[in-house]
Amino acid sequence: MSHDELLATLEDADASGVFHLPLRDAEAIRRAAASAGLACFDVSLEDCSSLDEVLGRLGHDLDFPDWYGHNLDALKDCLTDFSWAEAAGYVLIIVHAEGLLAHDPAALAVLTEVFVEAIAEWRSQGYPMWIFLDVPAAGLAIFATTA
C-alpha cells in the first residue's frame, strides 16, 4: 500500500482496531501516523510475562498520569483520555509481546478486549485509534502495509 493509502487508512476512525503488525511494517506506520497528525507510541513488552508487568510497562511507556492505578479499569481510563497527548488520533505499536503470549495467553486476550473497548470509545467520537501487536495472537487480523 502506498504512503497515501496508508495515511488515508490510518485517518479512518471506522477502520481502526487492534491488529497483528509484522515488525517490518512498523516504520511505515510511524511515518504515516506522523503525516496524519496521530500521536504514535512505541511500547516494548520485552521481559514482561505477566499482566501486572504489562500494565506497569504500558503506564510508563505511554507516560500515563500519576493517578494511573496499574489495573485494567485504569488502563481503559487512560487509553480513552490522552489529554496529556492530544492529537487527531492515536497509534500504539506494541512489540515483544511474545513473553505474555507464552506465559499467559488469557491475559493477552483480556488486554486485547480493553484495547477494543478503548478504540470503540474513540471511534464513537470520530477519532482513530490503532493498536498494533507484533505477535499473531488469536483473533487478530494481520495488518500489512505491503502486499
User: How many other β-carbons are positioned within 10 Å of the β-carbon of residue 5?
Assistant: 11
Q: Which domain holds residue 89?
A: 3-133
In a domain, residue 73? The reply is yes
pLDDT digits (tens, 9 = 90+) for 90-121: 999 999 999 888 899 899 999 999 999 999 99
* Ramachandran class of 86: left when φ > 0, alpha when ψ lies in -120 to 50, beta otherwise: beta
| Average pLDDT score, the chain | 92
CA distance 40 to 106: 26
Q: Per the structure block, which three cell numbers stand in for 36?
A: 496524519
Band of residue 23 on the pLDDT scale cut at 50, 70, 90: confident
Sequence-separated (6 or more) residues with CB below 8 Å from residue 19: 130, 131, 132, 133, 140, 141, 142, 143
CA distance 49 to 31: 30
In a domain, residue 146? The reply is no
Q: Per the structure block, which three cell numbers stand in for 28?
A: 511505515
Q: What percentage of the chain exceeds 90 in pLDDT? A: 73
Domain count, the chain: 1
In a domain, residue 127? The reply is yes
In a domain, residue 101? The reply is yes
- pLDDT value for 119: 97
pLDDT digits (tens, 9 = 90+) for 47-76: 998 999 999 999 999 999 999 999 999 999
In a domain, residue 147? The reply is no
In a domain, residue 141? The reply is no
- pLDDT value for 93: 97
On the question of pLDDT at 147 being above 80, the answer is: no
We report the CATH number of the domain holding residue 112 as: 3.30.370.10
